[in-house]
Amino acid sequence: MSLKAYNAAVFHLLGDPADMGADVSRGYYEDGLLIVEDGVVKKLGARAELEPGLPADVQIASFANALIIPGFVDSHIHFPQMDVIASPGDQLMDWLNEYTFPAEAAFEDPAHGQASARFFLDELLRNGTTSALVFGSVHKASVDALFGEALARNMRIIAGKVLMDRNAPAHLCDTPETGYGDSKALIQKWHGKGRLRYAVTPRFAFTCSEKQLRLAGDLLNEFDDILLHTHLSENEREISLVKELFPQFRDYLDVYDGCGLLANRSVFAHGVHLSADEMKRLSQAKAGVAFCPTSNLFLGSGLFDFARVKKHGIKIGLGTDIGGGTSFSLFQTMNEAYKVCQLQGDYLDAFTSFYLATLGGAELLGLADKIGNFEPGKEADFIVLDLEASPLLARRLKSCRTIEERLFVLSILGDDRAVRRAYLAGDLAYARA
Amino acid sequence: MSLKAYNAAVFHLLGDPADMGADVSRGYYEDGLLIVEDGVVKKLGARAELEPGLPADVQIASFANALIIPGFVDSHIHFPQMDVIASPGDQLMDWLNEYTFPAEAAFEDPAHGQASARFFLDELLRNGTTSALVFGSVHKASVDALFGEALARNMRIIAGKVLMDRNAPAHLCDTPETGYGDSKALIQKWHGKGRLRYAVTPRFAFTCSEKQLRLAGDLLNEFDDILLHTHLSENEREISLVKELFPQFRDYLDVYDGCGLLANRSVFAHGVHLSADEMKRLSQAKAGVAFCPTSNLFLGSGLFDFARVKKHGIKIGLGTDIGGGTSFSLFQTMNEAYKVCQLQGDYLDAFTSFYLATLGGAELLGLADKIGNFEPGKEADFIVLDLEASPLLARRLKSCRTIEERLFVLSILGDDRAVRRAYLAGDLAYARA
């Protein structure tokens, strides 16, 4: 039995502020104590209350000018696109051909995948991201590399090999059958091993034949707790191309639905241009979307209508969408999510932002029983934030009177520097130099 | 005579890429040498060519994995708003009342102004900004504090005390006469001293009576090389309020024009919602605008139509607009400028971004004969960028083949960490810890 205790200000969310009310949803201890036993949260509370009950031999790790929060959840990111981040000049469809496909081709080489996996997971952790839903490349080896490295770190990663059998360079295409077979082999090899899970990952309807999508749907049926991870309604040209390719379906979402891919385990990235009807069906299916503001702005895809999607009761998480997105940081992602809402006259409060980046993401990914906050029994994935990470951040935070103000300032001014440490299941996985 | 030489990759712009063509406008030396004599650029060229001509006793400061560029020019920023950066929840008019006016009130105290001026100029330099056009508060003392500190650093700062005589808390209002008198006293005390210049600074038409604006116009007439610095067409509610207040003028710009404030020395912040006619008149007057993307997004003001304003031949610079803006970094400002253009289907190339942040800003501020690039005779305000400032930046830059790609990556991934050193008139003014 290993008992550890961490002392700092501690904040987490018990549920969606929109459902519970901001006051009820938030748990905050100015001088808190997070007690972890065997990698799992045992108790969270005020230090003054919990410290007397600790066995005498338990050392408390105290952090000054710090805030402990649950590790961030990145709901949509592409592992093989690290090296195309900040590639200029085009919207989605040209950008894929110009930059992304060439970069993904390099992942045919397992050695490249392994070296990249180390860098990728290092980068997630230095940004405070302890869980992510990840696109691999079309190559089975890319997912082997990522899962292997994540398993070694005991990191809760959900990933899948991309399925695409058309409208992409031939050397990056699989077939419906090989895609199905490779995915199944990966599921059998990795799904449920350590903290890993699998997501069936058709790139998007434009690069998948109906047959491939239907076989993806078969996989979703065959395995209970795997996810479906794909793109939906990101860009207007994409949408019209999908309509041309699938005239037998009434809209973009209907393509996925008709192939058995619309379920409560489905995570659709973007959803920038959803119709009211599509929103209704997403809600009925209890499916969810990943809101990727830095990507939507960088690729000029449009403004995600957070207020409207939320009103439909659709699950929402935040995604960096590296490499269309411009930052690995969920702070920077919150910054731009706020701006996307402001441009539409909507207000994204700080509690909701942090909910999206932690528990909301966990709910979207079907992991809310494991991670996302500090309820007893959950895995102790948490980060220690440095409230003095830069002179400006330190100065600005000092003038804040409430935790809501502090969180908001962090969501606007924060970046990887604000992450002092990251813990995975109670073990130190990253410490800022 | 003091002769110094700096070696690294060196980049600057000789003019507007849109006018000269990207290839002609750029000056780039992969292994460059910047020679500075008595604080002024003596020569820039390839090291191999220039080094043999250097006197033997001149030591060359060499920087590995670095890029030297001209110091950034911030075309619009509020000195007394540092502490309201990242204040949530409202659009412009409410945001001013809720956060900004209370913060500005503190600048009545000269001690607060002095301490803030040090922090403010430190923050500019750590972000690589060596010149700025700055709003003070309504208090003469705020500008005294800022100019005093800037003079001590030999920094090229243009600033002015805010004029506002209505629609603001009484203790923050001046009168047309005291505003005129205080401004004049500040001009006589500071303008032309060291590298300082003055800008007559009516907040905006909403908080200024016609009489105050006309007296501001008188000041502009009385002194040759002072600037006019104000806000224009930032937010839709602001615009309609201005129309109500000034029914005798045909539009927002006409208010300023009618009061003698539309000139080739006028810098208008924002201009998000300009009519075609306003653009034409700005162009004819050779006036300019400061494009402030992080602020326009944060306050939900709207999307600056860069392509259209540019097509009208209006001078454009980049502004952080702290505290409505969310970053002191011109890199982050370029990042969001790019996104604002992308959302409108326009492409902002990297050369143009860096032009806006350096020489373009200098032209807007009437300083192009002094700063903005490395033409011989210009003041040696420059920054040394660290191309390995973060693991991701280092990795991404390594895959770039051209200087344009490298600049673009910097414009998206860069922040204050990328600034290793800042020099003012040849003297080291900031070195990253």
Q: How far apart are CA B303 and CA A268, in angstroms?
A: 27
- In Å, how far from its chain's centre is CA A348? 18
The tokens of B419 are what?
A: 């600034």
Chain B neighbors of A390, CB-CB under 8 A: 416
What rounded mean pLDDT belongs to chain A?
97
- Per the CB < 8 Å rule, is A88 touching B408? yes
Q: Which CATH class is domain B3-71+373-431?
A: mainly beta
Helix (H) or strand (E) holding B148: helix B140-153
Task: Give the bridge partners for A270, in sequence order.
Answer: A232
Which residues does chain B have within 8 Å of residue A392's beta carbon, measured at their own beta carbons? 82, 85, 123, 328
Tell me the chain B residues in contact with residue A432 when contact means C-beta distances shorter than 8 Å. none
Q: For residue range A84-119, what is the model confidence (pLDDT) as tens digits?
A: 999 987 778 888 888 899 999 999 999 999 999 999
- The reported pLDDT for the residue numbered B248 is 96
Chain A residues in contact with B306 (beta carbon < 8 A): none
Query: For B206-225, what is each residue's pLDDT tens digit?
Result: 999 999 999 999 999 999 89
B111 Cα to chain A: minimum distance (Å): 17
Return the residue in B342, B353, B399, B404 with the most chain A beta carbons within 10 A, the one to mutate for interface testing: B342
Are both B3-71+373-431 and B72-328 of the same fold? no
For residue A299 the two structure tokens come to 């690729």
**Nearest by CB to B345, which of A300, A343, A345?**
A300
| pTM confidence score | 0.98
Nearest chain B residue to A327 by CA distance is B413
Which residues partner with B198 through β-bridges? Answer: B159
- Verify cis geometry, omega within 30 degrees of 0, for the bond prior to A366: no
Q: Are A322 and A78 in contact (CB under 8 A)?
A: yes
CA distance A299 to A297: 6
From B49's Cα to the closest Cα of chain A, the distance in A is 34
Minimal Cα distance from A399: which residue of B? B83
Which tokens is A206 given?
């434009």
CATH T-level topology, domain B72-328: TIM Barrel (3.20.20)
Six token digits for residue A58: 């338990």
Unique residue bearing structure tokens 């078969």: A218
With cut-offs at 50, 70 and 90, classify the pLDDT of residue A22.
confident
Q: Is B88–A347 a contact, with Cβ atoms under 8 angstroms apart?
A: yes
Q: What is the DSSP letter of A384?
A: E
Of B88, B349, B391, Cβ closest to residue A123 = B391
Write the residue in A336, A392, A408 that is nearest to B328 by C-beta. Answer: A392
- Residue numbers in A near B347 (CB within 8 A): 88-89
| Mean pLDDT, residues A7-33 | 95
In DSSP terms, B73 is beta-bridged to: B131
Does residue B1 register a pLDDT over 70? no
Determine the distance in angstroms separating the CA of A394 from the nearest CA of chain B, rounded to an integer.
11
What percent of chain A has pLDDT above 70?
100
Q: In the prediction, which pLDDT does B22 show?
A: 82
* C-alpha neighbours within 13 Å on the C-beta side of residue A296: 28
Closest Cβ opposite residue B86 in set A86, A298, A408? A408
For chain B, the average pLDDT equals 97
B392:A335 CB<8 A: no
Where is pLDDT greater, at B320 or B224? B320
pLDDT-derived band at B263 (thresholds 50, 70, 90) equals very high
Q: What is the pLDDT of residue A1?
A: 67
- Model pLDDT for residues B357-393, shown as the tens digit of each residue: 999 999 999 999 999 999 999 999 999 999 999 999 9
pLDDT tens-digit series, residues B83-122: 999 998 777 888 888 889 999 999 999 999 999 999 999 9
Q: From A76, A131, A13, select the one nearest A318 (Cα to Cα).
A: A76
Residue showing tokens 């607009």 = B321
Taking CA–CA distances from A341, the nearest residue in chain B reads B300
Calculate mean pLDDT across residues B215-240: 97
B88/A408 touch (CB, cutoff 8 Å), yes or no: yes
Closest CA of chain A from B297, distance in Å: 5
Cβ of A425: how many Cβ atoms within 10 Å? Answer: 22
List chain A residues with CB under 8 Å of B343.
297, 300, 302-303
- The reply to whether residue B297 touches residue A88, judged by beta carbons under 8 angstroms, is no
| CB contact (8 A) between residue B413 and residue A86 | yes
Q: How many CA atoms lie within 13 A of A230 on its CB side?
A: 30
Per the CB < 8 A criterion, the answer to whether A200 and A224 are in contact is no
Angle between helices A140-153 and A110-126 in degrees, nearest 10: 40
Strands B227-232 and B266-270: parallel
Distance from CA of A97 to the nearest CA of B (A): 17
Inter-CA distances, A385 with A164, A179, B373, Å: 40, 41, 40
The neighbouring-strand residues paired with B163 are B202
What digits encode the pLDDT tens for the residues A230-285? 999 999 999 999 999 999 999 999 999 999 999 999 999 999 999 999 999 999 99
Q: What is the pLDDT of residues B36-67, one digit of tens each?
A: 999 999 999 999 999 999 999 999 999 999 99
> Does residue B325 have a cis peptide bond before it, meaning omega lies within 30 degrees of 0?
no
Q: Which of B412, B413, B416, B430 to mutate to test the interface with A (most CBs of A within 10 A)?
A: B412
Within 10 angstroms of residue B238's Cβ, the number of other Cβ atoms is 24
- Cβ distance of A297 and B390 shorter than 8 Å: no
- 3 state DSSP class of B302: coil
Query: What DSSP designation does B379 have?
Result: B
CA distance A143 to A184: 12
Q: Is the dihedral of CA B398, B399, B400, B406 positive or negative?
A: negative
Token digits for A166?
Answer: 């058309």
Task: Test A339 with B297 for CB contact under 8 angstroms.
Answer: yes
* Cβ contacts of B342 on chain A, cutoff 8 Å: 91, 297-300
Do residues B203 and B175 make contact, with C-beta atoms less than 8 angstroms apart?
no
Q: What are phi and psi of A64, to 5 degrees?
A: -85, 150
Classify each residue of A41-66 as buried b or exposed e, where b means 16 or more C-beta atoms within 10 Å of its C-beta.
bbbbbebeebbeebeeeeeeeebeeb
Strand (E) or helix (H) holding B182: helix B176-190
A350 contact residues in B (CB cutoff 8 A): 88
Chain B residues close to A336, C-beta within 8 Å: 297
Q: Give chain B positions within 8 Å (CB) of A300.
A: 339, 342-345
Q: Which of these, A160, A254, A175, A249, lies nearest to A208 by C-alpha position?
A: A175
**Vertex A56: Cα angle to A52 and A57 (nearest 5):** 140
Candidates B122, B297, B353, B411: best to mutate against A (most CBs of A within 10 A) is B297
Characterize the bridge pairing of strands B60-70 and B382-386: antiparallel
Cβ-defined contact of B123 to A392 (cutoff 8 Å):
yes
* CA-closest candidate to residue A132, choices A433, A422, A376, A400: A422
In chain B, what are the domain boundaries?
A: 3-71+373-431, 72-328
Please answer yes or no on whether A86 and B409 come within 8 Å at the CB atom: yes
Average pLDDT rounded to a whole number, residues A375-404:
97
> Are the beta carbons of A126 and B391 separated by less than 8 Å?
yes
ipTM of the complex: 0.97
The interaxial angle of helices B110-126 and B140-153, nearest 10 deg, is: 40
Question: What are the residues facing B68 on neighbouring strands?
Answer: B10, B384
